[in-house]
Structure 1
Amino acid sequence: MPELVFSEAIPQLLIEHLLHLNEGSGINLDVIKERGYRSILGKADLANVGFTSSQQRTSGILIPLWGVDGGQVGYQYRPDNPRLDSRQRPVKYESPVGSSNHLDCPPRCKQMLGDPKTPLWITEGSKKADALASHGACVICLTGVWGFKGKNEFGAVTLLADWDRIAIKDRLVYLAFDSDVVSKDLVRKALEHLGEHLSRKGASILVVYLPQEGNQKCGIDDYLLSHSLEDARKLATDFRPADEQSRERFVPGFVLHDGTIGELIVSPEDERAFIIVVNGSVRKVFRYETPKAIYLPSDDPLVTEVVHFASTATPYDSQARLFSEIKGFIHRYLEIPPDFEEISALYVLLTWVYEFAPSIPYLRVIGDWGTGKTRFLQVVGSVCFRPTFASGATTPAPIFRVLEQFRGTLVLDEADFKDSSSWVEMVKLLNNGYRPGMPVLRADKENGKWFPRSYQVFGPKLIATRFPFQDEALESRCLTSEMMPLTRDDIPRVLPPAFEKEIDDLRAKLLTFRLANLIKLKGKTFGNELLEPNLQPRLQEILIPLKAMLNGDHSMVEAITGFVHRLQENLFLRRRESATGRVLAALIELHEEGKELTSDAVAKKANETDDEVEQLSAEKVGRLTKKLGFAKERMGKSRQRLICWDETRVTKIVSSYGLQMALPLSPEKPSEPSLLSALASNPADSNKEGLKYCPPYCPPKTEADTSVGADSRTERTVTDDELTKEASAGE
């Protein structure tokens, strides 16, 4: 154990404690002496002033508290090795059990409290108050963010009587809380309550938003180590409680009409901020202000628990390199076909900019128990945009709310929904979620009454099921691969600790990819040149956003187009093997053979195809031909009811079942998705004007703009006007 040596300048303090106060917090020697800081080595000294045995951790610094009347009102203790609370967080400062709240005032500031012409600073913590006093400020401090309140003789919470000794009316007051004031809801609310109280008493309130570098929060004492009191004053902004409450938006991110993009980042310590792009650099801010709104990081507890975010933004070399890294990550932990590896990697990129697409496919794996479906969701889902893992939901209701609020990638396992009625609701969500502007309408109960409410559910989705969807429309919107039991020995059966680090690294690069490319892609239009010949309209909708992402990489376009054509063949096979498909095939064959089209003849012909499938009766054939749009008429002397052959009708529907006739039908012109018809027909890569900070999104071999630097600036508040001025200066 190192020898404990007391200082000569202040004999009551160990040298290390004096250095902490003087050099670490910027408190001058006179202010240290006036307060009476002293080092504690024995537990008895702490017991004498009311600290319990669990609080008596030595050594440490005992801090006397001085009231606004000049008398001592209590103590705080700062142990060198603090204990942990129930949430395993260190208790940095201890107060005696049962002690009452008081405003704390450095002794030299007492005489100035009654002078309204002297600006008053208010902060949290005695060390910070003493740092301000060392710079000549008149200051009081709270012993906690809610330390301006206490309990009266009846046990009710009221404002402290100490305020009556301070001249507030017509006084300029600076509120200087720590830099986490905008990212921690409890701290922000305390500041608002204090500001409102002082405003009602006639004070002019300014709030000092301290800048923060990295994940370490900044207090006013930290700031004054390298800045002056005047520098701190320049950080102050007006306190506008009513205005700010109406304008505040706690969001996971924002995309503004002027092209500004902000995205929530969450540090391992749960510090929340935005990453935005300004003049070619990636900047970290804790609030973003426009004339109409103040955007603040979401304080929802679902963040990091259910919905996941990047912890920062880092540069990537090129889209080709980033695509390769994602593909390599997937390959390390999954065994899926090579073409589906590429599809999955491209889909991950697509999720980070999905808002540009007029529609979006779903990525789905299918397979029996134990084939790795859950592993697929975990691996691929973790690096998608705002992945929302729905495995903890017992009913679909919270999933609708989470999608509405966070607009991320839904990761969904059919096995999590044992109740068939719940899965029916999820299918409804999936049917509406592939295209924007198709909300799901639900009835929500509030105060005992039911109210209709729409939920926006558009967005990318990863799905795992055991069987294909019965709904053919939904089935056609899925990029699907079958999962098989593992055969590769190099895949870890248990995910290693490095897995989380890989996820964090990829998310950081993908966030930069989003910031650099979303606006560029949203400016694209989709013309007929993106349509693929001989492909069904729904599959065109799957292929178009994927093609737009590639924008010229012909080998990848061919690979993905081949994959989608194979999906179409699978759909055709299902249709041909269905009862309706068998009836249509039988009709065509009988017509080409020149035979009468009776229900009995069609049933017999359809049943010849496979003895193991459902045998069709004449009655069912009649219902199915009516469903297909064929009429019946009585013909001949026997007046037998025959199915009327309709060449036009057959021409329209034959390609939907992958069937052919002996005589070639006129080729069907590929249909474009309905939403695309309203868009202009410029090529998807025709927009040559891009933001100068953007790394390229296509073609993949293009190198990134090295001028994009990640986390190059950190600020508390950024406004529209500031960005406009910076942009003008850059020009």
Structure 2
Amino acid sequence: MSVGARVLFSPGLAFDDVVFEQVDNGCFVVFDRFSGRLLVNSDGAWTSFSRGDVHFLPLERVPWLQVHLPRDYYCEERLFSEIRGFFMEHLDVADDTLYDVYSCFVLASWRPEDFNVVPYLFFLGPLASGKTRALECFHRLCYRAVMASSMSAASLFRALEAWHPTLLLDETEVYSRKEMVEVLALLNSGYRRGQYAIRVEKVKGGNPQIAVFDTFGFKVLAGTEELAASLQSRCIVTKMSKAVKPVKLFIDEEKAQELLDKLLMYRFKSLGRNNNEAFSDFESFPNARVLELFISLLTVAPSNNIRQRLMDYMAEMVQNRLNEEQASIEARVFESILKCEDKVENGRLSTQAVTEVFNEGLPEKEKVSSRLIGRVIARLGFEKCKISRGGLAGFYWNSKLVERLKMRYGLDSPETPFSPLSPQTPRTTTSVSGENGENRACLKGLKAVYWNDSFYDWHQCAFCGQTRLTSWQAEDFKGGKHWICENCKQEWEKLLEN
């Protein structure tokens, strides 16, 4: 160690040329990223590692299960299959595709430096439904996995800032109301790189001392109650129930250790690899939140078949979320607004008229007030006003907003099934109005082009004849509707400019 060197205690770090990680003998293992080999220390074990004027020392103790020694693996697809098999032997879930999700989540957790946004997993279910077993599986396999149920909120912030572990949080209900507010702040800020949680650490002389924490990282949650809507939308949710197929009573610790050793070698070999081509066709995916959840998983998926299954599951999530939106009070109020279109006078519609339509056929106890309907209308984006006759409360009719809301809630869509396919298995489908490649429509004859949230799929563009992943629809002046790809849409926009 050079004179004046700064000493830092660390479980490991990644640099452009080397990666080092603390293992169970209290020393470091060092990997040369350029040569793809483990480095041997002439003095024996790596009891320390120096970089510039910083001297790194291992932690005396770590709160996660440690690698014994990195172990090579045959190929990434074989490693994925072993991880998937581990989950299948220990955990029973309703949808087998979730085993693919879990396996990719484990792989991605060993490469947190490669991602700017990461998903959370949330296991929701009653007592004795397998939630804790799920967390135990991730505890055995994920990168620096820390079971956080016994940790205070303050220690959680400091652990995430210092080590960026994979956080496993069981039964969020165990926290007090004050602590839970802090835990939610941690979770709300921790899914995207560059977002920070801010806490008041202490007060000195009447002045609060503000601390900023980097809480970014993979997290797995479990509980008996749903999370706040904004937080749950950032989770891939597994609804748990009592196992119906036999699973191992105890965790196979020997297999878990073998996989843990292989996963450290996976980190060494794959860290920094760019797999953006795996999802380049999803830049226009209709639901950005769902795409964010799967970006890291698509990146680490070791084969096209696995990526296909993930994308099918993404499509199902999008449809489920659309169904939930359509059942929401916002969707029901908007549907009532559409039914009142013939009652619009001078560009205005009364809130009372919408309320009467909304309440039609409802039992007296389930009818809602005009005040509630007015608040929902405001949330939908309509501007409030007074109706000239009698001064009744109302709102301005906004045709552009109406069209956007129709697309959002799927209330003005052709009857086409929603089933996105991957680029590896494109399917040729006809355009909305039935054209084929021999009878293409003309871009100059289009009245409008709009995005349809509900039908993101492989469609044959009516203008270039290519089958592409799209949800853009074009409408001509005769009322005909056609599928249109992104490239042709841009060409149409250029025609408008000219």
Instruction: Report what 2:48 is aligned to.
Output: 287
Which of the numbers 341, 344, 350 marks the counterpart of 2:102?
344
CA distance in 1, matches of 2:367, 2:162: 50
**Aligned pair in 2 of structure 1 residues 326, 585: CA closer, same or farther (>3 Å)?**
same
Alpha carbons of structure 1 residues 461 and 528: separation in structure 2 relative to 1, 3 Å: closer
Tell me what 2:27 maps to.
272
- Paired residue total: 412
Which amino acid is 2:272 matched to? Answer: I
Instruction: Work out the CA distance in 1 between the residues paired with 2:295 and 2:364.
Output: 39
Q: Deviations over 1:290-339 (max 9, x none)?
A: 2232222122x3x0xx2232121000111100000000000111001201
CA contact (8 A) 2:90 2:137 kept: yes
Cα offsets for 1:28-86 (capped at 9, x unmatched): xxxxxxxxxxxxxxxxxxxxxxxxxxxxxxxxxxxxxxxxxxxxxxxxxxxxxxxxxxx
Residue by residue, what CA displacement relative to the aligned partner does 1:72-106 show, whole Å, maximum 9, x if unpaired? xxxxxxxxxxxxxxxxxxxxxxxxxxxxxxxxxxx
Structure 1 residues 575-594: aligned runs within 5 Å? 575-591=325-341
Could you say if the C-alpha distance between residues 335 and 590 of structure 1 is closer, same or farther in structure 2, counting changes exceeding 3 Å?
Answer: same
Tell me if 1:603 matches 2:365: no
Q: 1:660 to 1:543 in 2, by over 3 A?
A: farther
User: Are residue 536 (structure 1) and residue 287 (structure 2) matched?
Assistant: yes
**Mapped partners of 1:316, 1:614: distance in 2:** 61
SS at structure 2 position matched to 1:262: strand
CA–CA distance in structure 1, aligned partners of residues 171 and 403 of structure 2: 38
Q: Secondary structure of 1:331's partner?
A: helix
Q: Are positions 1:547 and 2:298 aligned together?
A: yes
The correspondence of residues 641-720 of structure 1 with structure 2, limited to 5 A, is 641-660=393-412, 666-668=449-451
Q: Which of 236, 254, 268 pairs up with 1:479?
A: 236
Tell whether 2:245 aligns with 1:492: no
Counterpart of 2:295, as a letter, is I
**Of the candidates 382, 400, 406, which is equivalent to residue 140 of structure 2?**
382
Q: Tell me which moved more, 412-421 or 501-510.
A: 412-421
CA distance in 2, matches of 1:488, 1:455: 43
* Other-structure match for 1:433: 190
C-alpha distance in 2, partners of 1:647/1:571?
25
Aligned to 1:141: none
Q: Report sequence identity in percent.
A: 25
> Helix, strand or coil: the match of 1:557?
helix
Question: C-alpha displacement at 1:411, in angstroms?
Answer: 0.4
Structure 2 match to 1:556: 306
Q: Following TM superposition, by how much is the alpha carbon of 1:550 offset from its aligned partner in structure 2, in angstroms?
A: 2.7
Specify the alignment match of 1:61 in structure 2: none
**CA positional deviation for 1:426:** 1.5
- The structural deviation recorded for 1:621 is 0.8
CA separation of 1:668/1:391 partners in 2, compared to 1, >3 Å: closer, same or farther?
same
Q: What secondary structure sits across from 1:254 in the alignment?
A: strand
Gaps of 5+ in 2: 41-45, 416-431, 433-447, 454-498
Q: Distance in 2 between matches of 1:255 and 1:609?
A: 64
Q: After superposing the two structures, state which structure 1 stretch, 631-640 or 454-463, moved more.
A: 631-640
Q: Cα offset for 1:617? A: 1.0
Is contact 2:139-2:145 (8 Å) kept?
yes
Query: Residue 516 of structure 1 corresponds to which residue in structure 2?
Result: 269
Is the 1:367–1:465 contact (alpha carbons within 8 Å) kept by the matching residues of 2?
yes
Structure 1 592/422 Cα, relative in aligned 2: closer, same or farther at 3 Å?
Answer: farther
- 3-state DSSP of counterpart to 2:200: strand
Q: Residues of 2 paired with 1:612 and 1:292: CA distance? A: 75
* Pair 1:464 & 2:222 matched: yes
Secondary structure at the aligned position of 2:146 is classed as strand
Give TM-score scaled by structure 1 length.
0.52
Contact kept? 2:87, 2:99, Cα under 8 Å: yes
CA distance in 2, matches of 1:463, 1:610: 38
Query: 1:614, CA displacement in angstroms?
Result: 5.5
Distance change >3 Å, CA 634–CA 343, structure 1 → 2: same
Matches within 5 A, 1:58-137: none
Task: Give the alignment partner of residue 330 of structure 1, picking from 87, 101, 121.
Answer: 87
Q: 1:503 to 1:259 in 2, by over 3 A?
A: same
Q: Partners in 1 of 2:224 and 2:364 — Cα distance?
A: 23
SS of aligned partner of 2:199: strand
C-alpha contact 2:168 2:220 (8 A) present in aligned 1: yes
Matching residue of 1:504: 257
Separation in structure 2 between the aligned mates of residue 514 and residue 528 of structure 1, nearest angstrom: 21
Question: Structure 1 pair 666/527, CA: closer, same or farther in 2 (3 Å)?
Answer: farther
| 1:412 maps to amino acid | L
Output the CA distance in 2 between the equivalents of 1:662 and 1:313.
Answer: 54
**Corresponding residue of 1:54:** none
Instruction: State whether residues 535 and 565 of structure 1, in contact with CA within 8 Å, keep that contact through their aligned partners in structure 2.
Output: no
Bigger Rg, structure 1 or 2: 1
| C-alpha separation in 2, matches of 1:614 and 1:465 | 31
C-alpha distance 527-339 of structure 1, shift in aligned 2 (>3 A): closer
- CA, structure 1 residues 316+417, in 2 after alignment: closer, same or farther (shift >3 Å)? same
Aligned mates of 2:366, 2:172 — CA distance in 1: 29
Residues 464-518 of structure 1 deviation map (CA, whole Å, 9 limit, x = unaligned): 12233223x32221111111101113x133x15xx22222111100000000010
Preserved contact between residue 149 and residue 171 of structure 2 (Cα < 8 Å): no
1:456 is displaced (CA, Å) by: 0.6
> Within 5 A, what are the aligned runs for 1:88-237?
none
The SS at the match of 2:8 is strand
What's the CA shift for 1:644? 2.3
Asked if structure 2 preserves the Cα contact closer than 8 Å seen for 1:592 and 1:662, the reply is no
The answer on whether the counterparts of 2:407 and 2:452 sit within 8 Å (CA) in structure 1 is: no
Classify 1:402/1:611 alpha carbon distance in 2 versus 1 (closer, same or farther; 3 Å): farther
Structure 1 stretch 347-356 or stretch 438-447: which is displaced more? 438-447
Structure 1 contact 581–657 (Cα < 8 Å) conserved:
yes
Task: Kindly provide the amino acid, as one letter, of the partner of residue 413 in structure 1.
Answer: D
- Equivalent residue, structure 2, for 1:253: 12
What letter corresponds to residue 535 of structure 1 in structure 2? P
SS of equivalent to 1:286: coil
Aligned partner of 1:451 among 188, 209, 214: 209
Q: How far apart, in 2, do the equivalents of 1:348 and 1:512 lie? A: 14
- Assess if the C-alpha contact under 8 Å between 1:253 and 1:262 holds in 2: yes
Distance 1:354 1:260 in 2: 16
Q: Is residue 363 of structure 1 aligned with residue 100 of structure 2?
A: no
* Counterpart residue type for residue 540 of structure 1: L
Q: Which runs of 5+ in 1 are unaligned?
A: 1-238, 671-731
Deviation at 1:610, TM superposition (A): 6.8
Preserved contact between residue 111 and residue 271 of structure 2 (Cα < 8 Å): yes
Give the superposition deviation at 1:580. Answer: 2.4
Q: Secondary structure at the match of 1:392?
A: coil
CA distance in 2, matches of 1:518, 1:418: 35
> Contact (CA 8 Å) 1:534, 1:668: kept in 2 or not?
no
Contact 1:530 1:547 in 2 (8 A): no
Choose which of 400, 405, 409 in structure 1 pairs with 2:162: 405
Aligned to 1:628: 380
Residue 554 of structure 1, CA deviation: 3.0
Q: How far apart in 2 are the matches of 1:286 and 1:446?
A: 39
By how many angstroms is 1:594 displaced?
7.7
